Amino acid sequence: MAQVAIIGVGQTPVGEHWDTSLRALAGDAIQAALADAGLRSVDALIVGNAYAPTISSQSQLGALIADYAGLTGIEALTVEAGDASGGAALRAGYLAVASGEVETALVVGVEKSTDMIGTARTRARSVSLDADYEAVHGATLAAGAALLMRRYMFEYGLELSAFEGFSINAHANGKNNANAMFRNQIKPGAFARAPMIADPVTLFDGAPDADGAAAVVLTRLERALDLVPQPVRIAASAAATDTLALHERADLLMLQAVAASTGKAYAQANTSPANIDLFELHDAFTILCALSLESAGFASRGEGWRLAAEGHINPQGRIPISTFGGLKSRGNPVGAAGVYQAVEAVLQLRGAAGANQIENARTAMIQSLGGLGSTAFTHILTIG
Amino acid sequence: MAQVAIIGVGQTPVGEHWDTSLRALAGDAIQAALADAGLRSVDALIVGNAYAPTISSQSQLGALIADYAGLTGIEALTVEAGDASGGAALRAGYLAVASGEVETALVVGVEKSTDMIGTARTRARSVSLDADYEAVHGATLAAGAALLMRRYMFEYGLELSAFEGFSINAHANGKNNANAMFRNQIKPGAFARAPMIADPVTLFDGAPDADGAAAVVLTRLERALDLVPQPVRIAASAAATDTLALHERADLLMLQAVAASTGKAYAQANTSPANIDLFELHDAFTILCALSLESAGFASRGEGWRLAAEGHINPQGRIPISTFGGLKSRGNPVGAAGVYQAVEAVLQLRGAAGANQIENARTAMIQSLGGLGSTAFTHILTIG
């Protein structure tokens, strides 16, 4: 199997782009990634998107975006796995290039959340829950996260304040990211006074829905070395699933899809948590940070929150997370989020992360989750 | 690159399954395909689906269906390319296996059209048109097909009756397919009296939206030979795109995505139209049959309709199409249609097509279209 590398990255600012269409956002990220790779075209386009059919009334994004980006005619399709759509698209692009049949693939994640607002958007987003057993009763992603968080607090005897370190770190990092949606900082104590969304999930627990697009260009590693000075190797690409409905899980506080996909990824890259220099995880809710760190082997069960409380997730810490602000501060452009993680990890590995540069970053892990851990796509990226 | 084979096929009857859920339909097709392959599980699940988010209020089908089918935990994702989603899923599964990283992949196409009825469904289906320039004005797939058909009739001086051979052949073949939705025959002359849907497209021109699921199991050819007596090789897998909006096309009557993807497929399989024993094309509308036959090289421009009028598309003809009834008579379970084509082609190549068996079928081409030719996925299957 051919080894695969990322040779170009591009992104748009994350936020509310009321005056920019879905296709234009994607086109901007694509042009930036192609320019970064020094290419004018590619052989295949893989689009990661979660909610264009329900929020933007648009499917067939593959052909639509290929045409808009001046790539009319090339092979294209869309990959969907709920909020993990970006990670899923990266995996599909990786397999296409690894097969040897597609020489150069462009993976673009794009979402236009502002095409719909308020409860209509909440409903449109709820299609990633189990429609017949959860969403039909009015469940939302935040409500599901609240169930997980309440259970975690109960099991381990914790207060809300146990989670504030995740949001404080995300905003502290996002402050230095020009593409971040919210660059304000969260002061210690403010977390506890945030408006309640779905008890105990507050406004400062959940990441904001956003518009945005990010893109990466993939090719075989052997070819990458001739094209760009700093290709980033995809050392592992792995995926696993769990139930959609929370009530079907034997153990609510172990994200089985995270555990399985990171286990496969560590094996592929012949590495372990101790060798991961940064971990861009799916911080759509603070509880997912704690559970992801535990399920991926960075903390014992019930101890994930301590990594935040004790400063280990900061850029200078043992396992830096959300180094560009994460979904929480950079913003959550849903189906694009997984590709933003890839772009940010590449910048870290290139040593181009600016004020938030992780020193001597050689190995980065990125992880995209669908629903509340129903799907997990995990990639390990290395340089040099 | 590893060669890829189909080692198991499964399908549900196509029709209106009011009492069966989306996941149950997919589960039935999966169990049939696994049984046919003699396997109990696979390494990855790829779901082809077009409209579950807008029609069934359900995304994340990968994890959902993996769990329902007893494959909880395996890698899974959904592939979408409008009505070509089934063909796109087959391509994604093919690339996954060809990469050598996924040993066995299950590709399932599923759609539940009856979760929504009437104009609501028409609107939900219109997301595969260009939302900003077509659907926003009320355009539908049938209206777009009408524009193509009117232009074709004008350019070549034809009457409606020029197209009746396509529907007559489809229903004559569907009569013998126990899984077909409409097994009635269309008598010559009845076609002209059919109710008008979008002038000049009549009820007998367009394929009926339907519920259904079909599945195929893929593995490497070298391994396939140890597992089943009659593996079918995927000799070509190719895709191409065109604009979504019809008004952006320089030439309305040449389906560029069809021409490009079949061209690539012929080259990969080292074959030509003369060597194709049957062609399961995307007969969502009779005009697409004529245009597909021309764009794929089976007829000169303006002459595709003659293949139907002169009997060349019948099972005993020069280039049999819709051999199990096609989308028109078997029914169009949208995102599953491309996988039904694969199942039917495999049955033909195995010599298991019953009354509609194509004599000495060794090479079958299948083609899945998104929108009105905006995306085309073309596969060539061979045996022995």
Per the CB < 8 Å rule, is A128 touching B102?
no
CA nearest to B188, candidates B161, B207, B206? B161
User: What is the C-alpha radius of gyration for chain A, rounded to an integer number of angstroms?
Assistant: 19
Q: Per-residue pLDDT for A321 more than 90?
A: yes
Per the CB < 8 Å rule, is B102 touching A95?
yes
Write the residue in A63, A66, A127 that is nearest to B53 by C-beta.
A127
Q: Which amino acid is at B6?
A: I
| Residues of chain A contacting B44 with CB distance shorter than 8 Å | 239
> How many CA atoms are closer than 13 Å to the CA of B32, on its beta-carbon side?
17
Tell me what the pLDDT averaged over chain A comes to: 97
pLDDT in tens, B160-172: 999 999 999 999 9
Most confident of A109-123, A225-239, B184-198: A225-239
Confidence band (pLDDT; 50, 70, 90) for A54?
A: very high
B positions 94-113 inside 8 Å of A (CB): 95-96, 98-102
| Closest chain B residue by Cα to residue A239 | B75
Q: Per-residue pLDDT for B120 more than 90?
A: no
Span of A114-123, A158-167, B307-316 with lowest mean pLDDT: A114-123
Please give the C-alpha separations between residue B178 and each of B12, B17, B94, B355, in angstroms, as whole numbers. Answer: 10, 15, 28, 11
pLDDT value, residue B342: 98
pLDDT in tens, A55-86: 999 999 999 999 999 999 999 999 999 999 99
Per the CB < 8 Å rule, is A95 touching B100?
no
B positions 25-44 inside 8 Å of A (CB): 44
| Residues of chain B contacting A51 with CB distance shorter than 8 Å | 53, 59
pLDDT value, residue A121: 87
Mutation target to probe the B interface, by most B beta carbons within 10 A, among A94, A99, A106, A248 is A99
| Closest chain A residue by Cα to residue B75 | A240
Write the residue in A59, A99, A128 that is nearest to B50 by C-beta.
A59
pLDDT in tens, A176-207: 999 999 999 998 889 889 999 999 999 999 99
* Inter-residue contact A345 to A351 (CB < 8 Å): no
* A-B Cβ pairs (cutoff 8 Å, strict): 218
| Residues of chain A contacting B368 with CB distance shorter than 8 Å | none
Q: Which two tokens stand for residue B315?
A: 């099972």
- Is B122 at the interface with chain A, CB within 8 A? no
In angstroms, the separation between the Cα of residue A41 and the nearest Cα of chain B is 14
Write the residue in A44, A54, A81 that is nearest to B53 by C-beta.
A54
Q: Per-residue pLDDT for B1 more than 80?
A: no
Q: Give SS3 for B36.
A: helix
pLDDT value, residue A81: 98
Return the axis-axis angle of helices B22-37 and B61-68, rounded to nearest 10°. Answer: 60
* Inter-residue contact A255 to A373 (CB < 8 Å): yes
Per the CB < 8 Å rule, is B60 touching A128?
yes
Q: Per-residue pLDDT for A352 more than 80?
A: yes
Per the CB < 8 Å rule, is B242 touching A98?
no
Average pLDDT on A238-254 reads 97
pLDDT in tens, B328-371: 999 999 999 999 999 999 999 999 999 999 999 999 999 999 99
SS3 per-residue string spanning chain A: CCCEEEEEEEECCCECCCCCCHHHHHHHHHHHHHHHHCCCCCCEEEEECCCHHHHCCCCCHHHHHHHHCCCCCCEEEEEEECECHHHHHHHHHHHHHHCCCCCEEEEEEEEEHHHCCHHHHHHHHHHHCCCCCCHHHCCCHHHHHHHHHHHHHHHHCCCHHHHHHHHHHHHHHHCCCCCCCCCCCCCCCCHHHCCEEECCEECCCECCECEEEEEEEEEEHHHHHHHCCCCEEEEEEEEEECCCCHHHCCCCCCCHHHHHHHHHHHHHHCCCHHHCCEEECCCCEHHHHHHHHHHCCCCCCCCHHHHHHCCCCCCCCCCCECCCCHHHHCCECHHHHHHHHHHHHHHHHHCCCHHHCCCCCCEEEEEEEECCCCEEEEEEEECC
User: What is the C-alpha radius of gyration for chain B, rounded to an integer number of angstroms?
Assistant: 19
In angstroms, the separation between the Cα of residue A147 and the nearest Cα of chain B is 20
Average pLDDT on A26-45 reads 98
pLDDT in tens, B145-157: 999 999 999 999 9
Give the C-alpha separation, A298 to A293, whole Å. Answer: 5
B positions 58-77 inside 8 Å of A (CB): 58-64, 66-67, 72-77
* Inter-residue contact B371 to B82 (CB < 8 Å): yes
| Closest chain A residue by Cα to residue B87 | A77
Per the CB < 8 Å rule, is B81 touching A80?
no
Per the CB < 8 Å rule, is B81 touching A78?
yes
Mutation target to probe the A interface, by most A beta carbons within 10 A, among B241, B369, B375 is B241
In angstroms, the separation between the Cα of residue B320 and the nearest Cα of chain A is 27
Task: Give the count of beta carbons closer than 10 Å to the beta carbon of residue B226.
Answer: 9
Q: Per-residue pLDDT for B9 more than 90?
A: yes
Q: Which two tokens stand for residue B371?
A: 């929108």
Per the CB < 8 Å rule, is A63 touching B98?
no
Q: Which amino acid is at B285?
A: F
Confidence band (pLDDT; 50, 70, 90) for B192?
A: confident
* Inter-residue contact B221 to B231 (CB < 8 Å): yes
* Inter-residue contact B178 to B322 (CB < 8 Å): no
- Is B340 at the interface with chain A, CB within 8 A? no
B positions 274-303 inside 8 Å of A (CB): none
pLDDT in tens, B286-299: 999 999 999 999 99
Kindly state the percentage of chain A with pLDDT values over 70: 100
Per the CB < 8 Å rule, is B81 touching A58?
no
In degrees to the nearest 10, what's the CA dihedral of A51, A53, A58, A62? 70
Q: Per-residue pLDDT for A302 more than 90?
A: yes
pLDDT value, residue B189: 84
Per the CB < 8 Å rule, is B131 touching A57?
yes
Write the residue in B88, B128, B237 that is nearest to A77 by C-beta.
B88
Tell me what the pLDDT averaged over chain B comes to: 97
Confidence band (pLDDT; 50, 70, 90) for A41?
A: very high
Write the residue in A99, A101, A239 that is nearest to B75 by C-beta.
A239
- Is A269 at the interface with chain B, CB within 8 A? no
Per the CB < 8 Å rule, is A60 touching B243?
no
pLDDT in tens, B207-263: 999 999 999 999 999 999 999 999 999 999 999 999 999 999 999 999 999 999 999
pLDDT value, residue A189: 84
Per the CB < 8 Å rule, is A98 touching B102?
no
Which uninterrupted H or E stretch holds B147?
Answer: helix B141-156
Q: Per-residue pLDDT for A1 more than 80?
A: no
pTM here is 0.98
Q: Which residues of B142-159 are buried (b: 16+ CB within 10 A; e: fewer)?
A: bbbbbbbbbebbeeeebe
Span of A111-125, A266-280, B44-58 with lowest mean pLDDT: A111-125
Write the residue in A91, A239, A374 that is nearest to B60 by C-beta.
A374
- Is A240 at the interface with chain B, CB within 8 A? yes
pLDDT value, residue A376: 98
